[in-house]
Amino acid sequence: MPNHAMYPGSFDPITNGHVDVIDRAAQMYEKVTIVIAKNSRKTPLFNEQERLDMATQALAHLPNVFVTLHQGLVVDFAQQNGCNVIVRGLRAVTDFEYEFQIALMNRKLEPTITTIFMMPHEQYTYLNSSIIRELGRYGQDITAFVPPVVAEYMKHKFSSQSA
């Protein structure tokens, strides 16, 4: 029976959609590790430590959820840390093709690790970190879309950039 899941992502920043998926994964698995991974295809707004701090604070209400950093393949982290499930959030059909390819490759690399796909609540299906960064850059109110700690980090980030 799977008891340790991981949810990898860049979380730049973590959104309420991410938190929704993590809340439900935390109900399904004994332990959930959020892995803030370095994505070689992205230039993040927040550095790794900021993303770690935001996620840790946003998820503090979940006693079986832990947040860590990792550079390298997600499947390697899973093997090294006893994670037998990889959780991935799917917002729309457009996410599926990419996530499906990654899941198949992970299964090829390590057949004992299963990927599950979870949809966020419908109110978050249009939400992604890129949209949040863009709204924040233009001073829009993002409090309905992100945990309070993220709203504060965003406010500080963009006020310091315009100074």
**149 domain residue, yes or no:** no
Neighbours of 36 (CB within 10 A): 27
Of 91, 107, 137, 155, the catalytic one is 91
Active site residue 10: no
Of 38, 42, 121, 156, the catalytic one is 42
Active site residue 42: yes
The pLDDT value recorded for residue 37 is: 86
pLDDT tens per residue, range 98-109: 899 999 999 999
Active site residue 38: no
**158 domain residue, yes or no:** no
**138 domain residue, yes or no:** no
Our count of domains for the chain comes to 1
Rounded Cα distance between 52 and 11, Å, is 9
Of 10, 51, 70, 129, the catalytic one is 129
pLDDT tens per residue, range 67-118: 999 999 999 999 999 999 999 999 877 788 889 999 999 999 999 999 999 9
- At 69, which CATH number? 3.40.50.620
Cβ burial, residue 91 (10 Å; 0-12/13-18/19+): middle
pLDDT at 2 over 70: no
**144 domain residue, yes or no:** no
Active site residue 129: yes
The pLDDT value recorded for residue 92 is: 78
The pLDDT value recorded for residue 162 is: 58
pLDDT tens per residue, range 22-58: 999 999 999 999 999 887 677 899 999 999 999 999 9
**44 domain residue, yes or no:** yes
Neighbours of 89 (CB within 10 A): 23
* Domain limits for position 111: 4-129
